[in-house]
Each structure stands twice: as C-alpha cells, then as structure tokens.
C-alpha cells in the first residue's frame, strides 16, 4: 500500500501552476528519502524508505540531485531613482505579455563606455546588446522566438514587472495567503559556476559575509520575520519573509498608523548589495564556512558529488561546487571578497521578486526608493584586486562569445555551461521539426546574428578554457574516464563509486536534454503528454514491478527541468541489495523499454489524464490562497526556464482544453522520446545522438569474483544486455471504482444502527453535544467507541487529511508482552501490503492512484498512526466536459480504505519480507552513519538500553513472524481505543454522515480476539491506554565517545539530559506547572491561575526551545566561531511522562570538545549568568505564534491538533489546546521561563555528553576507487573540501 505521492502531479513540466499539495507531498517525500527521515507518504503498495537512502541505498532522486549541494544559510529573525533617457528599453513585462508604466519599466541597455579615474568601466555581460539580462523572451531583435503567437499561453494577469533606470529588474505578484505577510527574494545572477580558478568558494563566502554582516537585517529580529540566503551553481539568493506591518506598532485608541515592514525588508536586501566586508565579519564567516564543510560532508553528500561530477563532466559544474577549496577559503582577505561582491552584486545583474499581501503600486514605489540609488559604475569602481579584473572580463567574454552556452544562448538564469545532450535518434520521427521543438533545441540551435562587438568577442575567446578541460594546480589527482561505445554510435559514460559507508547498490542513469520553454498550446500539450507517460511508467515500476520478491528497494524515473544546471535531466535512480544489482537493472530498464516501445494503455491514459485534471482543478480552487513561498519558488523557476507563468485558473482552463483533445498517440510519442536513450541501446534500434551517463555506487569490500562486485565494464555490459531482453505490451488492470458494495453498507446500517455520542475531554472543557456542529472543530464519539474530531479548513482547497490513531506503539509492544519489534515491523508490513476483501494489492494500489489517496503508516514509541491525504472532490472521473462520468469523492474513497484496514486487511508473507528487509537495511545503515550511531549510543546510555527507544537490530527483525506482526498491530485496532481526526475543505455534515456510514458500522467488538491484557490484570480487563514514564535517567551523567571508520574526518558533539514531555509532565509524574508554582512562592493569584492552564507547560517548552537555539547560534557560532550551527531539541512525547533534551553540534575534530563545552556554557548561562531577557521572550513569541498561524493553513496540522483531544492518555490536551493557544503564549513571562528551566536536567552531574568522530583505517592509503575519474573530453573533478548546503 505504498504508492509514492502524486507522481503524475510532480513531473518537471508542471510549470504552468505552482505545485499542488499532493506535489508538495511528493517533493517532501523525495527530500526525506535523502535526508535521514524514516517514513514517507505513499500510495498503498510502494514502500517509502525507512532510513537515509543515500547511505543505505544511495538513492538520489533526480528532482533533488543538487538540493543538498547549494549553500543555504538560514536564520530565523523574527533614495528615489532618477529617470534617465536610454535606448532600446527592455522590461520584464515582456515576459508576461503586458506593459508596465514607463517610469517603472525603463531599463538601461548597453551604455556608451564611461571613464572614471582615467579607467574604462566595461559593461556587465548582462547588459550587452546581444541578450536581455533575464532571458530570450525579452525584445531582442536579433533573437526572436518562432512560437505560434495565436496559440500563446495566457500570462498571469496580476503579475507586475519592471526595470529601474539603473538596470535592477523586479517582479511583483500580489497574493493573499497567508494574509498580512509577504516575501521578498533578491536573486544575484552569479554563483559558483562564475568563479575564477583562484575564487573557488568565494560566491558562498561572500553570501555569508553580506548576509550575516547586514545590520539592517538584524532590525528584523523579533518581528516575526524569517531571513535566509543560499548559493548555488547559477545564482545567490537572499530573502526576507515578513509580516506586512510591524507587530504592536499600531495603536487603535490613538489611531497610530502601523509601521509597514516592506521598507525594512527591502533595506535588509539592499544592504547586501552594499556590503561593507569588515574583517571581523569575514573571520566569523570563514570559520562558519569551514565548519559547514565538515557538517555537510556526509556519505549522502559525497554520493551526490560523485553523481554530479559524472553527469556534468563536460562543463564547469564538475569543478565548481559551491563550497569551494579549503586552502583558498583560509587565504582570502577582505579585498578578495569585496572584489567578487563588487563585480557581481550590481543592479544590472539582479532580479528582485516580491510576493505577498501588498499593494502593487506601493511596492513599486518602495523598490524605486530603496534600490534606485545603486549604480553599476560605483560598484565597478570599488573592485579592489585589479589583477582579477581582466580575468573576470575574459570569463565574461567567453560566456557570451562561445557557442552552445545555455546562459547566453537560452536564459541568463542558467549557469555558463554547455551540455552533452542525448537526443532521440536522427530521422526517427516523421516530423524532424516537431522533434527539435519537443527536445527544446529551437532556441539553442538558433544562429546568432553577430554584430561587430560580438565578432571581436568570438575571436578573442576561441581558445579560452571555459569548460575547464585542462588540468589545474588545485585539481585532485585524476584518472581519465573513457566514454564506452557499446555498439556503433551508442555511448555510455560510466563511473563507479565505492565507499565503506555505503550499504546498498544504487544506479543513477541519465540523459541530458535541452529545456523546452512552454509558452504556447503545442508545447503545453507536449508537457502534458510527458507527464502522463512518466506517471504511467512510475506506477508500473512501483506497482507492477513490486513482485513477491522485488529486485529493487527503490526506483524512480523522471525528467525535470533544472535551472541550476541549465538543462532538463531524464533520470533513472534505483537501489537494491548488492547481490541483486544486475537483476534490478534488467527489471527497471525492461519497464522503460516497454513504455518507449509500446506506450501507455488506454486505461493508463484515462487514469493519469483524469489525475492531471483533478490536480489543476484543485489549484484553481485554491487560487491566491497558495502560500507566498510556494508561489515565489514556482515563479522563480518558471521565469528561469522561460516557461509561461499562468494563474491557477488559467492553468486549469488550458489544461481542460488540452486534455479534452489530447490523443493516445501524442502521449505515446512523448513516451518514445522520453525513453529513447534506453530503447536506442537495443541492437535493432538506431543510436541516440549523445551519451548515456551512468554512475553506480556500491559498498567496498567485494572481490572481483563476487556477484556483488561491479566495475565499469560489468556495468556497461549489464546495461547493454538489459536492453536486449524482449518486452511485451502492458495489459490493463481492472480497477474498482468503489471498494465496498453499497447494498452491504445499507444492511450494516440497518443491523447495527450506528449513532453519535457526545465528546468528553480531560482538560476541563465541557462535554460536547452528539448532534451539534461546533467551531473550530466538532468532537464526538461513535456508538462503537471510535472517537472522531472533524474540522473544516479552506486553507488547502479541495484537499483533506485524515489521521487514524491507536495509542500504544512500541510502549504497548513491551507493556503487553508482544515480541520485540513486532509492532513496528507489523506497521511497515501493513504499509507494504494493501490487499483486502476481494481485491488484490495491485487493484487497491491503483484504486488509490485513481483517487489520489496517499497513505503513511507509522509506529512510534507511543502509538500507531495512519495518515491519509486525499482530494475532497469527485475523482476517478472518466471523460471530459459534458461526457464526464463522475467517480466517488476522495473523501468517500478514504473512508472505504480506513474501514477495510480495520476489518478486512489481508496479511501477506511477501509484504512482511519487504518490511523486514527495510528494517534490516535501516539498522545496517545506522551502523555506518556518524550522527545515527552517536545518537543511538546516547539513547542506549540514558535509557539503560530500553528497546522502545532504540533502533530494531537485525536479529530482532528476523525473529518476527507474520503472526507476531499481525497480532501486535491488530491488538491496537480496537474500536474503543481508536481516534479519527479529519480536516479539509469539505462540508462537515456530509463527512460526518460518511463516517457514520463507513466507520460507525464497524462492529464494536472488531479485532477483540487480538486483545491482550497486561500482567496482573483481571481476565477481560483491558487497559492499553495506561502509559508510564520514560526510564529514570541513570545518575551521575557520563561522557561517551564513539569512533567510526571513514576516510574523511568528521565529528559531532552532543549534550543531553532529562526533560518534561510535550505537555510538561516529568518522569516522576509532576508537571512544569506544579514545579513553577512551588518555586514562585510570591506569585499573584493571576499568575497561579494562568500557570494552571493545561497549555502552560507546552507553551513554556516551545519558547525555551526557540530561545535556546538563538542563544546557541549567538554563542557557539557567532562569538566563539566553533561551528556552522548548533541545535536544541526535545523528544516531545505526548503520552509517556518525561523525555529528554538533546543539543547537537557539528564541528571539526579539533574543535569538537570546545564546541561541546560552549554548548554546556550556553545552557548554564541561561539559568544563571545571562538569564532570559524580555527581548529574548518577545522574539520567541513572534516565532512561535507565526509558526502556529502558518501551520493552521494546513489540514495535516489540524489533524495533529485534534489527535489525542478525546484520549485520556494525554490528560492536558483538549479543545483549549487550540482555542487558548495565542492567549497563553502572550501571557508567558520571563519568570515563567526562568523557573521552568529548572525542570530540565541541566546540572553538571545530570548531563550526558558525547563526541562521535571518524577515524581513518590504520595504515590508510587512498585506493584507486577514491581517485576521481574524469573524461579526456571534459573538465577534471575538483578536489579539496566538498561544497556546502
């Protein structure tokens, strides 16, 4: 039951509207697969990984191939332009098909060269006449597009754009969600790919210095604002997300006007354009970057570097990772940083985006007032290192003068690179012109009409090594990687990466293609066809490809447009056990070839076209309620790739029009092109025009005679042989439109006569009526005992979230005497399965696909939780327009699934096998993960090896039988102990009626045969909700050390101790509220009353966490310069009493002990020498409240809030948890927090501290496997420290 979320809704070509919630779930899923999360949303039948996939499986999904490579430096913080006459005006409005006022859209194109101080100031490449500063869609007469104007896609009607006289361009999009907030992003069109040889890493360091050195940014602290910055290959971005008005600045009684925040936010952004580059700030950020190098250098990161280095071997990206070279970073002075800054941070080389609940005219005026004084000439005059100026000029000339450079040839947003594209075989399509269009070549292949200026540049740069083909002093030792030709014209570029920390085999197989701008109906139809074909293939791989004993543990095929790489990348990413790597390759490539050769079936066409239509409809319903962040990220990527940015409603209308006439042949043509690089390897097919790129990652330690061993030759041979396997057309599977017969339900309703009972609570809230709707949620209980909470949430249009909770989890596993690990393995087995009633697993999975249902099943220490994301409209529809036949709603479909899980689930041995394999892989991966093993070591010590809180080892997993798993999980699915929380954009009464029909008819004695009593109980007396406490912390605390073998030096330090649970309960049963009141003997009656509020402990702990994190940042990073970041977190149990806090800090091995000591010092100072201040408290309040208000827009948050409200196992949680939240936060005082700190085990003898560090094997000498491979036709892989996040 694990279909990964929304494959059909997330392919790279969804550029016409921001991604839907389903698509966002998919992106989150992919991120989790590479960033150490343990569970993921999915459709039933396609298992999400349990562990860090890159360690265990080295899976790097294509959509995030570079997500961990760009440098993200995050911090939560709480003059009028003079008009000038210019030639050939250019405005961003041309991107969106409308004109802006001349005053706001005039741009400065190439000006006559000026002299200052006797020296010529050359124009920036972005201002040269041949190209607009943004992309080819500008009115450049020498480069006109050939798209059909009659079928042009409509532009978003609310977008406003323009260019100031100094060349600074901007885009404004008014957006209502969230209300009274906005985001401003400043994009500098220079990144690590623009660095010279002696500047490797300086783009990222400059970002640090400009961002962290901004005094104006600091003014945003305590205002509920968040600021951030990051550096990538192609750009550097700074942003501020703020409220529209300064909190508490307005005064209703005195009619004082609130202070607008936009000028403050833009002041912070203009401040980075005028960075002072002080030596003190440079030293702080130098240390932060060096620490960041260590922090990001995980095995996942190293795998990504290997993949990217092979994928982009022919261009600069293979040598210009953003983190740069350690030796250079240590050497740079303020002059080096200022030279880079003044060269690239110019008004004519940036683009400002503003999205939010703002008045457009006011935004335009503020932009002009704030940025209008900037001058490219002034910036150029302050370049300190004059000897770098001609080098920078040579690079700029090469970017605009060489052929096939995507930055100058297609979009100024792209990095300055060329690509070895892999295109469909020549002459393979009937219409070569359409083929060229569909592969995005019409712009890149277009011949420029050079003027004299460009002629001079072309001659000058003829021999310039723009692509870094030559060997340079800072490059690592390399061996040349050959390009293998498996048959005439059929080329594969292979690379093998072996490492002792890898646990599984993974393959990453790519074909690079040009980005096709989607600007008219023809290109839009091709994009839809690609999405349908990709969805069909992914579901085949995940559903049909999952046999009783599947060859791969993860597989994904996709094609994504990547502005950071300047191309579209078609990718296959798979993982498997090392011994089955050949089988996994053969199975996956056969499925791809089947799609390429035979296309999709009529049923698949209908299924995924309907899904696309539903997705577009949901987005249209959401309108401008899509969040500012989602809108802005989508807008930036859309503009960068030259796609047309449409409103959700425009997108819906165009999608409906296109899908109504889209043919099966068009989809199959798209499938043929997508798979052409694989199908062309077959001996009967023509060769593709360009190479396939293949990187395989494998554990070390296998001999050449072992089946697990893989090298370049065997990899190429296996790929070739896999492409010779005969394939047959796919057959359609009969998919039910409904899982439960309506007549059967009617009989159940008549027999059981389900009805509603009132809700009851333990936080002091009066009981609720069984027949009245209440706000903000309706809370009741069914007559069979199942508690129900329901809330209407319009923040996510036409979408809903349902959570089914069974208290117990691994605590019940131990308390009720089940075999260790059986509850967790059983929950995963349920996720891996999915058959029930008369339906097979595959039919149920496709039912979930048709109805856009996503399922996630988790077992944690305290509960079994089943989460469902679903559309609230009719889905599984057939046809379009007047001929459409409506299916059932997604809400009804999810009710059917929930019912069948409780009463009709089929437990299968093959699902258990997949579950156990996931847990084995997760545990084995943990043993090779520095952070994972270190944390496990601490937990073993503070819990006395209580297995409820530890990973499940291989021996334990292997001992679990199907009956063990089934008995453990089903013992939790007792109606009287279950709770359903559902929130979404629906009619509450209609959903209550559905719940009554589908869930209310479940027998109250369902699964009673699995009930189990605790030892000492009377027969038949069941108390599964009786939770105890976490184990008592063994005292005194101790210092722990761990060493992990790894070729690269890394270290991580920890400070841990006892803490209350999420609701303020300590392990001894007392509460934060009780202890604070006992300590404050002089408290007023008012203070005692508010401290008795059920939310008091929860809120106090949230505020302490925020303040602790801010203090750690200020002390450990800023003042002591020991780390890039330090983090304070709480375990957050709800049912178990007590818990722990954990401070984590990554540092170099040399500084690990000092960083640990600094963390202890910071925590101690909060208690004594530097107590919490009012400013600390007010800033934390803004952060906590803004986070709460933002999350209230999501149905998943509402479901989480309602979970446990009607369960006695969380006595302090009730309706007041939501209704009084803001008031309780605002009432908290510094005295509350100071006294509450004593509830944490912060005394020296109570602390557990640890340092985990890597050690090189004795006698370690780098093997040939660790020598980076490079192609003689491409740039060498750069050495030194890795790039950062």
What HEC string does 289-327 produce?
Answer: HHHHHHHHCCHHHHHHHHHHHHHCCCCHHHCCCCCCCHH
Q: For the packed helices 521-539 and 581-598, what is the interaxial angle rounded to 10 degrees?
A: 140
Are 1248 and 942 a contacting pair, CB within 8 Å?
A: yes
Tokens representing residue 607 in the block: 């299924």
**SS3 state at 231:** strand
List per-block mean pLDDT (blocks of 10 residues) for the chain, which spans 1285 residues: 28 25 33 30 46 34 45 46 32 28 35 39 49 36 50 91 90 92 96 95 96 90 90 96 86 69 96 94 93 90 92 93 94 95 93 96 97 91 86 87 87 92 70 50 49 67 88 69 83 94 95 94 96 95 75 93 95 95 96 97 92 90 87 92 92 95 96 96 93 95 94 96 96 90 91 95 90 94 97 93 96 93 96 91 92 94 96 76 74 96 94 92 91 95 95 96 97 96 97 97 95 59 69 94 92 96 96 97 95 96 97 93 92 95 94 96 96 95 92 95 94 92 96 97 96 84 47 28 27
Write down the pLDDT at residue 115: 40
Q: In what order do the strands lie in the sheet with 236-243?
A: 71-77, 225-231, 236-243, 181-188, 350-356, 169-174, 160-163
Question: By C-alpha distance, which of 1283, 1268, 1272, 1173 is closest to 309?
Answer: 1268
Question: By C-alpha distance, which of 925, 928, 931, 929 is closest to 1147?
Answer: 931
**SS3 state at 1202:** helix
Write down the pLDDT at residue 475: 77
Tokens representing residue 300 in the block: 């996942």
DSSP letter string, 1239-1268: GS--SGGG-EEEEEEEEPPTT----GGGSE
Element (DSSP H or E) covering residue 170: strand 169-174
What residues contact residue 876 under an 8 Å CB cut-off, 6+ apart? 610, 737, 850, 851, 887, 888, 893
Are 171 and 354 a contacting pair, CB within 8 Å?
A: yes
Are 780 and 758 a contacting pair, CB within 8 Å?
A: yes
Write down the pLDDT at residue 458: 72
Are 18 and 631 a contacting pair, CB within 8 Å?
A: yes
**What is the Cα–Cα distance from 178 to 931, expressed in whole angstroms?**
36
Element (DSSP H or E) covering residue 169: strand 169-174
Are 1139 and 1060 a contacting pair, CB within 8 Å?
A: yes
What residues contact residue 875 under an 8 Å CB cut-off, 6+ apart? 610, 611, 614, 850, 851, 852, 887, 888, 889, 890, 893
What residues contact residue 550 under an 8 Å CB cut-off, 6+ apart? 587, 914
Tokens representing residue 458 in the block: 């072309």
CA angle 1146, 1149, 1155 (to 5 degrees): 50
CA angle 101, 105, 106 (to 5 degrees): 115
Tokens representing residue 3 in the block: 């279909």
Q: For the packed helices 648-661 and 602-622, what is the interaxial angle rounded to 10 degrees?
A: 160
Q: What is the largest CA-CA distance in the chain?
A: 98
**What is the Cα–Cα distance from 507 to 574, expressed in whole angstroms?**
5
Q: For the packed helices 334-344 and 388-401, what is the interaxial angle rounded to 10 degrees?
A: 30
Say what the pTM is. Answer: 0.86
Query: Computed from CA positions of residues 46, 49, 54, 55, in that sequence, does the dihedral angle turn out positive or negative?
Result: negative
What residues contact residue 421 under an 8 Å CB cut-off, 6+ apart? 439, 512, 513, 514, 567, 689, 690
What residues contact residue 584 under an 8 Å CB cut-off, 6+ apart? 505, 507, 551, 552, 555, 574, 575, 576
Would you give the DSSP letter of residue 199?
Answer: G
**What is the Cα–Cα distance from 903 to 853, expressed in whole angstroms?**
19
Element (DSSP H or E) covering residue 378: helix 376-381
What residues contact residue 1199 under an 8 Å CB cut-off, 6+ apart? 801, 802, 803, 867, 981, 982, 983
Write down the pLDDT at residue 739: 93
Tokens representing residue 269 in the block: 């952004």
Neighbours of 488 (CB within 10 A): 7
**What is the Cα–Cα distance from 327 to 305, expressed in whole angstroms?**
19
Query: Computed from CA positions of residues 110, 111, 112, 115, in that sequence, does the dihedral angle turn out positive or negative?
Result: negative
Question: By C-alpha distance, which of 831, 125, 77, 104 is closest to 453?
Answer: 125
Backbone φ and ψ of 1086, nearest 5°: -60, -45
**What is the Cα–Cα distance from 964 to 951, expressed in whole angstroms?**
18
3-state secondary structure 50-80: CCCHHHHCCCCCHHHCCCCCCEEEEEEECCC
Q: Tell me the residue ranges of DSSP E strands in 1123-1243.
A: 1126-1130, 1139-1147
Write down the pLDDT at residue 101: 33
**SS3 state at 1045:** strand
**Residue found by looking up tokens 């500098």 in the block:** 188
The CA R_g of the chain, rounded to the nearest whole Å, is: 30
DSSP letter string, 574-608: EEE-GGGHHHHHHHHHHHHHHHHHH---HHHHHHH
User: Side-chain half-sphere of 305: how many Cα atoms within 13 Å?
Assistant: 26
**What is the Cα–Cα distance from 190 to 392, expressed in whole angstroms?**
12
Q: Would strands 692-699 and 490-499 be described as parallel, antiparallel, or unpaired?
A: parallel
What residues contact residue 744 under an 8 Å CB cut-off, 6+ apart? none
Residues annotated as catalytic (active site), given as ranges = 207, 285
Strand partners, 213: none
């Amino acid at each position: 039951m694990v279909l990964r979320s929304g494959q059909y809704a997330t392919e790279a070509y969804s550029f016409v509207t921001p991604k839907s919630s389903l698509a966002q779930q998919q992106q989150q899923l992919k991120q989790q697969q590479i960033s150490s999360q343990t569970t993921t949303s999915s459709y039933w039948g396609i298992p999400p990984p349990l562990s860090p996939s890159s360690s265990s499986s080295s899976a790097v999904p294509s959509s995030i191939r570079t997500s961990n490579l760009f440098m993200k430096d995050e911090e939560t913080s709480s003059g009028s332009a003079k008009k000038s006459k210019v030639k050939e005006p250019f405005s961003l409005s041309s991107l969106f098909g409308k004109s802006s006022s001349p005053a706001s859209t005039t741009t400065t194109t190439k000006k006559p060269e000026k002299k200052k101080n006797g020296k010529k100031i050359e124009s920036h490449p972005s201002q040269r006449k041949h190209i607009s500063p943004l992309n080819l869609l500008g009115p450049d007469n020498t480069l006109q597009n050939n798209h059909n104007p009659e079928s042009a896609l409509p532009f978003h009607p609310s977008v406003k754009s323009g260019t100031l006289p100094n060349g600074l361009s901007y885009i404004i999009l008014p957006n209502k969600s969230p209300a009274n907030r906005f985001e401003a992003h400043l994009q500098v069109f220079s990144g690590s790919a623009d660095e010279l040889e002696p500047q490797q890493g300086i783009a990222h360091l400059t970002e640090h210095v400009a961002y962290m050195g901004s005094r104006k940014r600091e003014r945003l602290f305590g205002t509920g604002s968040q600021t951030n910055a990051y550096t990538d290959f192609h750009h550097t971005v700074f942003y501020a997300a703020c409220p529209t008005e300064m909190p508490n600045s307005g005064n209703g009684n005195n009619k004082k006007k609130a202070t607008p925040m936009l000028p403050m936010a833009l002041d912070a952004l203009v401040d980075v354009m005028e960075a002072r580059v002080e030596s003190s700030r440079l030293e702080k950020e130098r240390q932060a970057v060096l620490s960041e190098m260590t922090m990001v250098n995980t095995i996942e990161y190293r795998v990504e570097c290997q993949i990217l280095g092979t994928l982009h071997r022919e261009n600069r990206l293979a040598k210009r990772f953003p983190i740069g070279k350690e030796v250079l970073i240590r050497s740079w002075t303020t002059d080096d940083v200022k030279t880079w800054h003044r060269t690239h941070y110019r008004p004519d080389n940036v683009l400002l985006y503003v999205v939010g609940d703002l008045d457009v005219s006011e935004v335009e005026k503020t932009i002009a007032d704030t940025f209008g004084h900037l001058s490219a000439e002034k910036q150029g005059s302050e370049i300190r290192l004059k000897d770098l100026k001609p080098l920078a000029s040579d690079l700029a000339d090469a970017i605009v003068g060489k052929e096939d450079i995507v930055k100058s040839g297609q979009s100024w947003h792209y990095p300055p690179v060329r690509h070895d594209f892999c295109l469909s075989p020549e002459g393979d399509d009937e219409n070569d012109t359409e083929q060229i269009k569909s592969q995005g070549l019409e712009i890149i292949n277009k011949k420029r009409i050079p003027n004299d200026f460009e002629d001079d540049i072309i001659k000058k740069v003829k021999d310039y090594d723009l692509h870094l083909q030559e060997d340079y002093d800072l490059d690592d030792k390399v061996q040349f990687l050959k390009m293998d030709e498996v048959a005439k014209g059929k080329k594969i570029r292979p690379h093998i990466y072996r490492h002792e920390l890898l646990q599984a085999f993974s393959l990453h197989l790519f074909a690079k293609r040009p980005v096709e701008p989607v600007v008219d109906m023809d290109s839009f139809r091709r994009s839809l066809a690609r999405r349908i074909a990709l969805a069909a293939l992914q579901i085949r791989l995940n559903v049909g490809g999952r046999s009783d004993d599947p060859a791969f543990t993860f597989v994904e095929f996709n094609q994504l447009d990547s502005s950071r790489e300047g191309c579209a990348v078609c990718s296959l990413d798979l993982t498997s056990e090392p011994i089955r790597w050949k089988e996994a390759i053969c199975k996956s490539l056969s499925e791809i070839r089947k799609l390429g050769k035979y296309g999709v079936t009529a049923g698949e066409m209908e299924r995924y076209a309907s899904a696309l239509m539903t997705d577009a409809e949901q987005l249209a319903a959401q309108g401008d309620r899509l969040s500012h962040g989602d809108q802005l990220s989508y807008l930036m990527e859309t503009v960068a790739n030259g796609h047309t940015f449409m409103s959700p409603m425009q997108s819906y209308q165009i999608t409906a029009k296109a899908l109504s006439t889209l043919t099966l042949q068009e989809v199959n043509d798209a499938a043929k092109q997508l798979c052409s690089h694989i199908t062309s390897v077959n001996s009967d097919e023509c060769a593709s025009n360009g190479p396939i790129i293949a990187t395989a990652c494998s554990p070390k330690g296998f001999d050449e005679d072992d089946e697990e061993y893989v090298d370049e030759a065997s990899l190429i041979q296996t790929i070739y042989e896999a492409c010779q396997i005969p394939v047959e057309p796919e057959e359609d599977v009969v998919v039910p439109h409904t899982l439960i017969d309506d007549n059967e339900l009617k009989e159940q309703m008549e027999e059981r006569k389900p009805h509603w009972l009132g809700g009851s609570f333990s936080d002091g809230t009066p009981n609720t009526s069984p027949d009245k709707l209440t706000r903000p949620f309706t809370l009741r209980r069914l007559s069979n005992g199942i508690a129900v909470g329901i809330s209407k949430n319009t923040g996510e249009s036409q979408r809903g979230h349902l959570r089914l909770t069974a208290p117990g989890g691994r605590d019940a596993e131990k308390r009720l005497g089940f075999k260790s690990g059986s509850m967790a393995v059983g929950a995963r087995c349920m996720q891996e399965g999915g058959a029930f009633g008369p339906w097979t697993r595959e039919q149920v999975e496709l039912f979930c696909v048709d109805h856009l249902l996503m399922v996630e099943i988790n077992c944690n220490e305290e509960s079994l939780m089943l989460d469902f994301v679903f559309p609230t409209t009719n889905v599984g529809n057939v046809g379009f327009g007047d001929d459409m036949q409506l299916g059932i709603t997604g809400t009804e479909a999810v009710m059917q699934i929930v019912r069948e899980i409780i009463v009709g689930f089929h437990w299968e041995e093959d699902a258990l096998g997949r579950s156990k394999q996931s847990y084995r892989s997760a545990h084995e991966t943990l043993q090779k993960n520095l952070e994972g093993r270190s944390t496990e070591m601490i937990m073993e010590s503070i819990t006395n090896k209580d297995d409820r809180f530890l990973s499940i080892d291989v021996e334990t997993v292997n001992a679990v039988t199907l009956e063990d798993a089934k008995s453990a999980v089903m013992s939790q699915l007792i109606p009287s102990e279950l709770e359903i929380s559902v929130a979404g954009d629906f009619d509450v009464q209609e959903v209550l009626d559905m719940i009554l029909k589908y869930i209310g008819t479940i027998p109250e004695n369902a699964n009673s045969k699995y009930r189990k009593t605790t030892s000492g109980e009377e027969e038949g007396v069941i108390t599964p909700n009786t939770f105890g406490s976490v184990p008592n912390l063994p005292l005194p605390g101790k210092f722990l050390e761990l060493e992990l073998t790894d070729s690269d030096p890394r270290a991580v330090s920890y400070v841990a101790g006892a803490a209350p649970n999420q609701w303020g309960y300590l392990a001894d049963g007392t509460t934060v509220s009780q202890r604070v009141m006992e300590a404050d003997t002089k408290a007023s009656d008012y203070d005692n009353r508010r401290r008795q509020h059920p939310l008091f402990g929860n809120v106090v702990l949230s505020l302490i966490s925020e303040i602790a994190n801010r203090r750690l940042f200020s002390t450990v990073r800023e003042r002591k310069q020991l780390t890039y970041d330090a983090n304070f977190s709480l375990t957050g149990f709800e049912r178990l009493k007590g818990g722990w806090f954990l401070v984590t800090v990554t540092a170099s091995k040399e500084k690990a002990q000092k960083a640990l000591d600094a963390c202890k010092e910071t925590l101690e100072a909060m208690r004594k020498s530097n107590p919490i201040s009012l400013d600390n408290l007010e800033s934390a309040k803004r952060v906590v409240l803004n986070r709460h208000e933002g999350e209230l827009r999501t149905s998943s948050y509402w479901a989480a809030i309602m979970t446990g409200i009607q369960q006695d196992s969380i006595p302090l949680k009730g309706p007041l948890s939501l209704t009084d939240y803001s008031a309780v936060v605002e009432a908290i005082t510094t005295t509350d927090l100071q006294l509450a700190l004593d509830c944490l085990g912060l005394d020296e003898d109570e602390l557990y501290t640890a340092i985990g560090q890597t050690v090189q094997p004795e006698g370690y000498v780098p093997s040939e496997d660790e020598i980076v491979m490079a192609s003689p036709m491409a740039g060498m892989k750069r050495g030194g420290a890795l790039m950062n996040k």
